[in-house]
Structure 1
Amino acid sequence: MLPVSTAVANQLEAGYQEMKPWTETWKEELACALEVGAAGEEKVSYQLWPEHNRPLNGINSCDSEPIISSDLFCAARCFRGDAAANGSIYSLNMEKQLPNRPFARYQVIYKDRKTAFLLKPNLAPSSYHGRCPVAKILRGLTVGLPVVRGFDRRSWNRLQGPKKAAVTAEEVPAVNAQEEISSECPACSAEKDRGQITDLVLVAHGIGQKIAERVESYHFTHAINSFRRAVNIELGNPTIQNVLRADQNGFMILPLNWRVGLSFDSDDATPTGTKDTTGSFDLKDIEPSTIPAVRSMISDVMFDIPFYMSHHKIKMITALVREANRVYRLWCRNNPGFSDKGRVHLIAHSLGSVMAVDILSRQPTSVPRLNLCTPIAPDDQHFEFNTTNLFLAGSPAGFFLLLEKGALMPRCGRTKAGADDGDVVAKNVVGEAGTFGCLAVDNVYNVLAKEDPIAYLLTGAIDPSYSSSLKVAYVPSVTPSLISTVRDAIRQVVPGLNPEPDPLAIEPQRPTTARMPSQLELEIHDFTREEIAEKKAYLLNDNGQIDWFLRSSGGPLEIQYLNMLSAHTSYWTNQDFIRMVCLEIGRKPGRSHTFPAMRAVKKTKRDGKK
């Protein structure tokens, strides 16, 4: 018994996933095939190498992605996890003269979850020739070449003894020509040349992930996989690459599925050894049996909010912290040196943003780097990493700050590029750890879809007067508006008009003109309060503001009440939000390196300032 080549193993596994021979449905299909005969057996036969999978001479050799190793481990690991979904195991320089692949015209019969049979063409099921190999296989006979999935070499050696069977050259399956050419994985080589990822982005979901335990399509991981691919595509844009910092070397975006496996049953509320005499009950004990589909949807989606506002809050926060630290430890274990040089950012959606604000309010101002060599259990109270940027999407955090009578303020002693050393310790500007709303981060971004009914503003939680003095800020749009398109067309026709300024260009800071305010302004404004509020805003975000709206794309006929149905879940596919994440994480830190389109702009009298 010998292992098959890696390329053949990959094809066998692909057929295994497609045919699903471990299910009861497959057993029924085999039984039906026996009743029908040879024509039925043809339906349960799997072509090992489908014709449409054959490499063609004429593949575009300009493809920027290198080939993926046929090794299963490399294929799953390389290219940030996207290789298995997007790549190819064939060489870009494949020629017609290369020998055929192993078992090129063979078919596969999957007997059960472990056993399959490779049948050459003259043994495969055929209604024309009346061949019925499936019937023989199910009777226990061996037809063709048997293959065992998950073969254990140690168990085989124990059963067969230490002697080794002589193997002739004819018995060894032919290996793929590409494997003979080079044993090195091209994708691994490209990854080494690319260097280590510099920015790890962790994404915490909000309400509704309980339903993912029943409906796979609702799983948060699927949305983040698409979001990661969109971010990687955006990072490849030359316009974006020109404004990224010199040491920036790519993002890795990973989901935090903190809700999976979390239970709110009442059995854990009774102390150990104490007899329950109160008749404690669960949700299922009080839920009527009427309209079960609607009730199940509500309990799986909407009840996360009241659970968070109950005594279960600590359990939910602990679950998020544990999941974040677990993912971070795995990442550092697989990427040595990241804890020394890498940066960690957090994107939190919906209820997850409220939990993130709560955790970062209690987070130490600075966390020592993670040392995996020391056998210390993961922390379940604080993140084991320093958070550089916090993105809140569709966040009701402002409402929870109102409920808790909190305020958004920078952390005392939290130094960052471009910040005044005196401001980070001024008692009237910064707060202490443990104060709800005093976050241990460098920058906070609160992004709102215009029609999102769950999202609330946050700049007002710094200072209401300062918030009202700012213009409404929008995330710079990727797609040009109709007016800008017409304006650009006019500029091309009419000579002498100034070109449109680049919103991504870094402008040098102009010196401010010293001007004493008039007596009238002194009577209206409290300049000391405005100065303190502005210092807080710039310590919380280099741009001097917290809130940004996403522009609607519905045009003049958009209906807000229809858009609100999908607005709360639209962030992961919004191209403007994707570009904003790329730019703000990838730019150089500091107030002087912000983009003009992202900076806070004060209202003027023309704008209706009061």
Structure 2
Amino acid sequence: MSVNPLSNRASYETVPPSLQNLASGLTEKQMQYRAVYHHWFFCREVEAKILWLPFSMHDSLNLEEVHNSNEISPDTKVATDGGRYDVEILRRQRASVYWSSPVSEVRRCSWFYKGPAESRYTPYDESIAARLEEEFKQACLSNNWNRRVDLNNGEYIVFHSANVQVHYLQATTPELAASWGNNSQGSEDNAYLQGATSRPRVVKRGMDEFNIDDGEPEKVDHLLFLVHGIGSVCDLKFRTVEEVVDEFRSISLQLVQSHYRNSSERGIVNRIEVLPISWHAALHSGIDKKLQVITLGSIPKLRHFTNDTLLDILFYTSPTYCETIMQTVGNQLNQLYALFNERNPNFQGNVYLGGHSLGSLIVFDLLCHQKPPVTEEISRKTEDNKDADNKVINSQDIPIGPVLKRKLSKQVSYVMGTAGTGQPYINYPQLVFNPSAFFALGSPIGMFVTVRGIDTLGEDFVLPTCPAFFNIFHPFDPVAYRIESLINPDAYKYRPMLIPHHKGRKRMHLELKETMARVGADLKQKLLESVKSTWNSVYQLGIFNRQDNKALQEEIEKVVEEQMINSPSENVEATATDDAGFDLKIGKLNGGRRVDYVLQEAPFEYINEYLFILTSHVCYWQSEDTMLMMLKEIYGSMGIQTDAQLPQQTLSIERVSGSPSNIIPPTGTFSLDSMEQIAAQSVTSLPTTSFIKNS
């Protein structure tokens, strides 16, 4: 039989040798089997969805090590998530340590699947994963693919190759198929639905496409407790205090790694542990039944919202329920502090307190009624106060700093001592630790103190056991009030301290706002100078016709000076200065430092401040600026500063000749100097005759 060399040549040129070799080698080459890597996952409900989330690499390795050890027992627990959760290996359960939450399931995962409309992989049950791994191993060793694994629910998985495995769902039931077949209309839609229900799932082996965090540093530098405000949820996503604190803690870790990178790499800075304090459940466990019998049945959702949130403010003004709230917060602080020290015996850091909304008022009242260290001088002043005020003060009720008085009438003087004017007299728990600082977020403390009948706290007012106090608020927060004015009567004349942006610069729209204020002032200055120059020219022209030239010149100087003084642009420039009041001394409450600190509103919030009053009150839980300020205060007390900040991004604006209409600034962030150059150029390019015509 003869062979045509041309046909062989054509086929050779059509199929490249590399593909021919690859095709011939697919059946001959055997897949080398390697054991799969196991990673540990836990189940969590996020926004009404069940998600499987991976443990960090550090936690997963610890769980795997204990799992493979020979000393494991039913009571064996492994601390994960920085010690906030314990995992029972044999029971496959994960439980929180510092707060109450449902127990979640834990899996040792190696095989995953993802549906056609899903974005995340879901791990198979461990028994199914073991079967799949055994089938994969046999297929690799025997080089025999297209294997089928039947599951108990009628579904099955087919191993097409080493890299392609497909999970086929259960076939359509006969009843459903018959109903579709009897329907003469919409056959195309039925075919589409039938195809959609039978679309297979993607099967994945191993952890190649997962992004796993390394984990948190084991060492804790400092401890921060956060107390929530009214209601059982803390933000517009209906998240609990534990969930928002998780995000707050995550932001803290990210900022430590980004702004304290040098100190973190050298082991000087590690992390701050943030723990939530919840009092809402303890309060409503006894009051909800009483409210239910007196609540009207109409508009149930609104009434439930009122009972669950707004009434917490009234409950706090009641002696009975105020003490319930205060005892719950105080006891939780002491218990969690003791539990944390038990689980972290080498902890030597400081403790800090924080509160949001009503929670900040709770912490403030609690700190106001802590007992300072008893000395002979305090004991002597206590005895003097007994005789001076004709009021019996127990030896345990040591006054807070100076005794503040406000005369409401000539006969009665109300004293702000252990209870305070207008404040329920209750037994305040004593903390077993002295906090280093207190951070109030979106706080109504100033309003409540005023409502209680206190005109001023005075410059000598201090928290007995807490040396530092910071009042942080969003400029559009309707619940927040200033505190500095209650200490220093002149503080209202100065703006609160502006909190720097976490990216090392001021927000662009605020820069532009202040820049335009300065540009307006410069335009006004140039305009008045031009008017003055024009009047001087008029004066020179009329020097030969008038004898009272001196009076005319004085009149012109007077008019120009009045316009300079009354210029609104100049006032805007003066009030827009961030450094104004930087050296203002605010009593002893914060060691003489400023107390009120304001966040920078976002550009989209600047459009209409009334549209963001709700979001502005709950923005602190996810605010990088808030957390960075707290980090600076916490680590700054140890002499640790952030890394060198990046310089502000500026654009060099070229000088363009012509009228102001021809000046088109480029997009980006404008520097003050560049905008001033534009203003100066715009004014100097205008002819003076235009002012003469307008005048």
TM-score by length of 1: 0.51
Alignment of 1:411-422 (within 5 A): none
Query: CA 1:556–1:298 in structure 2 vs 1: closer, same or farther (change >3 Å)?
Result: closer
Q: Which moved more, 1:231-240 or 1:580-589?
A: 231-240
Paired position in structure 2 for 1:353: 360
Report the CA distance between 1:293 and its aligned residue. 1.4
Aligned to 1:235, the other structure's residue is in SS state helix
1:563 paired to 2:612: yes
Letter in 2 for 1:397: I
Does the CA-based 8 Å contact 1:389-1:443 persist in structure 2? Answer: yes
Alignment of 1:264-279 (within 5 A): 265=286
Paired position in structure 2 for 1:270: none
1:250 paired to 2:271: yes
Deviations 1:442-475 (A, max 9, x none): 110001111111111000111222x135343211
Letter in 1 for 2:248: F
CA distance in 2, matches of 1:458, 1:352: 16
Gaps of 5+ in 2: 1-34, 67-76, 88-107, 114-124, 137-146, 155-205, 207-212, 375-426, 514-582, 646-695
Report the CA distance between 1:342 and its aligned residue. 1.7
Query: CA 1:118–1:429 in structure 2 vs 1: closer, same or farther (change >3 Å)?
Result: closer
Paired position in structure 2 for 1:202: 225
1:328 paired to 2:344: no
Deviations 1:180-226 (A, max 9, x none): xxxxxx989x956xxx32210111001011799xx994211111111
CA distance in 2, matches of 1:395, 1:476: 20
Deviations 1:541-572 (A, max 9, x none): 24621101111112585101101121110011
Aligned to 1:225, the other structure's residue is in SS state helix
CA distance in 2, matches of 1:130, 1:483: 61
Aligned to 1:395, the other structure's residue is in SS state coil
Query: CA 1:317–1:6 in structure 2 vs 1: closer, same or farther (change >3 Å)?
Result: farther
Paired position in structure 2 for 1:449: 474
Alignment of 1:426-505 (within 5 A): 430=460, 438-465=463-490, 467-478=491-502, 479-482=505-508
Letter in 1 for 2:228: H
Letter in 2 for 1:253: V
Aligned to 2:597, the other structure's residue is in SS state strand
Paired position in structure 2 for 1:77: 80
CA distance in 1, matches of 2:460, 2:265: 30
1:382 paired to 2:430: yes
Does the CA-based 8 Å contact 1:348-1:393 persist in structure 2? Answer: yes
Query: CA 1:191–1:477 in structure 2 vs 1: closer, same or farther (change >3 Å)?
Result: closer
Aligned to 1:551, the other structure's residue is in SS state coil
Does the CA-based 8 Å contact 2:460-2:587 persist in structure 1? Answer: no
Query: CA 1:462–1:485 in structure 2 vs 1: closer, same or farther (change >3 Å)?
Result: closer
Using CA pairs under 8 Å that are at least 6 residues apart, name the structure with larger relative contact order, 1 or 2: 1
Count of residues in Structure 1 that have an aligned counterpart in Structure 2: 375
Does the CA-based 8 Å contact 1:587-1:593 persist in structure 2? Answer: yes
Report the CA distance between 1:589 and its aligned residue. 6.0
Does the CA-based 8 Å contact 2:355-2:439 persist in structure 1? Answer: yes
Paired position in structure 2 for 1:120: 131
Report the CA distance between 1:75 and its aligned residue. 6.9
Does the CA-based 8 Å contact 1:449-1:551 persist in structure 2? Answer: yes
Aligned to 1:303, the other structure's residue is in SS state helix
CA distance in 2, matches of 1:299, 1:459: 33
1:306 paired to 2:314: yes
Larger C-alpha radius of gyration, 1 or 2? 2
Paired position in structure 1 for 2:441: 393
CA distance in 1, matches of 2:467, 2:112: 60
Query: CA 1:75–1:217 in structure 2 vs 1: closer, same or farther (change >3 Å)?
Result: farther
Does the CA-based 8 Å contact 1:343-1:387 persist in structure 2? Answer: yes
CA distance in 1, matches of 2:609, 2:109: 59
Report the CA distance between 1:7 and its aligned residue. 7.7
Aligned to 1:323, the other structure's residue is in SS state helix
Gaps of 5+ in 1: 19-25, 27-49, 54-63, 85-101, 108-113, 136-176, 178-185, 268-280, 368-378, 410-427, 432-436, 488-533, 598-610
CA distance in 2, matches of 1:335, 1:343: 13
Report the CA distance between 1:327 and its aligned residue. 1.3
Aligned to 2:485, the other structure's residue is in SS state helix
Alignment of 1:35-114 (within 5 A): 68-71=60-63, 76-77=79-80, 79=82
CA distance in 2, matches of 1:430, 1:582: 27
Q: Percent identity?
A: 21
Query: CA 1:292–1:579 in structure 2 vs 1: closer, same or farther (change >3 Å)?
Result: same
Does the CA-based 8 Å contact 1:201-1:252 persist in structure 2? Answer: yes
Query: CA 1:119–1:391 in structure 2 vs 1: closer, same or farther (change >3 Å)?
Result: closer
Q: Which moved more, 1:115-124 or 1:282-291?
A: 115-124
CA distance in 1, matches of 2:345, 2:327: 26
Letter in 2 for 1:582: L
Alignment of 1:220-259 (within 5 A): 220-238=241-259, 248-259=269-280
Does the CA-based 8 Å contact 1:390-1:445 persist in structure 2? Answer: yes
Query: Alpha carbon RMSD of aligned pairs, Å?
Result: 5.2
CA distance in 2, matches of 1:323, 1:566: 28
Paired position in structure 2 for 1:518: none
Deviations 1:399-456 (A, max 9, x none): 11112234776xxxxxxxxxxxxxxxxxx8645xxxxx74531110001111111111
CA distance in 2, matches of 1:290, 1:481: 46
Query: CA 1:258–1:407 in structure 2 vs 1: closer, same or farther (change >3 Å)?
Result: farther
Aligned to 2:334, the other structure's residue is in SS state helix
Does the CA-based 8 Å contact 1:200-1:344 persist in structure 2? Answer: yes
